Structure 1
Amino acid sequence: MIKINMFSSASKVKGQGVGSAYEELIRLLDEHLNTEFEVNINQFTKSDISHYHTIDPNFYLSTFSKKRGVKVGYVHFLPETIEGSLNIPQPFRGIFYKYIISFYKRMDQIVVVNPTFIPKLVEYNIPEKKITYIPNFVRKDEFPHLSLEKREKVRKQLGISAERFMVLGTGQVQERKGVKDFIKLAENNPNTDFIWAGGFSFGRLTDGYADLKKVVDNPPTNLTFTGIVDRQKLSDYYNAADLFLLPSFNELFPMSVLEAFSCGTPVMLRDLDLYHSIIDGYYIKTTSYEEMNSKLHELQGSSSMMKKYRTLSLAASDRYSEESLTKIWQKYYKALLTGQGD
């Protein structure tokens, strides 16, 4: 049996996709591959593979031990993707960014959740042959596509009007997520309900905290900020929504999009280049606030368009299923010990 030590502190900070992706992988290995892999969490015992999900300093120090086996780094962010998320003053920001790349360079192998990260890592002098793309996934039983009857029941439980169109956004409340455009949409569409499920995971360190906190504390009457929501409850919000909108300016492979797909909820995104290689054709593309507003009105007036994007969401969900990712991770981990991952 192959021994894998998983290193992560992602679950300590609620409401972020890194923790969700980590938990999904742990569950996958436990439920489907437990006869092939022995998984330990945050233990510094001898292992065949050490898989680092977060870049904690104590994890960095552990990479110098000969007990770690093959060291795998999971790249969920780069220095440039942190811009707009955390407000870190200089000179600490520069030091932190150098540390991030130094951590990745300590790895024998790198896993990215979006192929657009590969050339960026190469620019940081990390050999391309060490980098592998493996997408995120979500479980369909955790984020199920509910029937119309069950969906109406969920809306009632959440206090959402059955007659009003509801737009959902999820994730951390921060500049990078495009929350200000979400707020502006709510202000200019008073007959539509808007819900943002998420909060300030990093408190005052959040970029734009002061301005956003004012709106969160006193939002328009048709806009609700729920605060951080447990993943188990999130599926209710996705199923209750008529539209999932993520107006982010920078993402990797957002778990929230996969969760919305799994629930069969139409998805609208700010059209980022990095989406083109992973989910192109499955979502409503917008490039600006004006286009988001226009597409929103178009959707509200077209049942055929709504049906089209519900179907596309479910098709995308099948593409990134738990079954297919189980085979990919099984093959990847085994290849690391046979030299095929070098």
Structure 2
Amino acid sequence: MSPVDSHSMGGKLDPEALAAVLDRTGGLDEDVLVGPAYGEDAAVIDLGDERLVVSSDPISLAAERIGTLGVHVACNDVAVGGADPEYLTAVLLVPSEAGDGVAPTGGEGSDDSIETIMADVEREASALDVSIVGGHTEYVDQLDRPLLSMTAMGRTDRAIPTGGAEPGDRLVLTKGAGIEATAILATDFREDLEGVSAGTLDRAAEFFEDLSVVPDARVLREYATAMHDPTEGGVFDGLIELAAASEVELVVESATIPIREETARLCTAMDVDPLHAFGSGAALATVREEDVADALAALADVGIEAAEIGTVRAADEPALVLDGERHTDPAREALYALWDDT
């Protein structure tokens, strides 16, 4: 269980607050191989010959394409857990048009939101060959924006935890930092990006098509000792979480982290650090040193950009050492300040 990926202005729980939640999850059945833990993307349940990988995530803030984001954020967690996502449930809560003290009744605007969101969900799930098998939808008078929470499930014969990195492993990142953030900036904040060309904004908005790491993870799981899906807080927080889950130190130089041109332009224009901004679309993996070249070549063979960005070493206290500076605490998601100002 990673800190709450709410995409809301409150943001993730800090590790201490999350620990209080994790302490109240009850006793775990012996078939639970990976349970709730800081940094872990998904639960893993022993089914005998197979492992069931399960993850839930909500989306509430991004105004554009939350159905798209919801499917990929949930499915990505299952993919980096070593499984192909197979099933989804969707819980969709939408604002009612009723006023205070009036029972939620919905309305044309609410119904339009439901149709738009679920059309996105259906399209993205179909593209991944994932079945939507249940969920819940209702109007909520207290909401001022839709909230979509999805649970993804998939089976595998080899689950891969976030906490599997070993000293001596190498860090691999696919695609680049801030893929999801770039798409959000190009849509939710398009009117604020006056200095950025329309062509750049249009290309950046197309990053919504790059949010899935199912293909990335499908290649990497043949080599990875650990995998992780950086979401809220970006690659920076993803590295912090991977270090904590694996109880290791990660040594990274920021110059080695791929950042696409469109990401750099939009983040510069909005004064956003791309390493601290929503990171869906990239997969983090640790790979044994002798397997790095093969892993990168296998990704390249299927057209996925990737780079080696750092090393894993033993440590008394888990940490990210970025450009020589040691970090143990996650950072606040960079885009929250932009929503705070709107």
Question: Shared topology, TM-score over 0.5?
Answer: no
Relative to its length, the structure with more helix (as a share) is 1
TM-score with structure 1 setting the length: 0.28
TM-score with structure 2 setting the length: 0.28
Relative to its length, the structure with more strand (as a share) is 2
Q: Which has the higher contact order (CA 8 A, sep 6+)?
A: 2
Report which of the two structures shows the higher radius of gyration computed on alpha carbons: 1
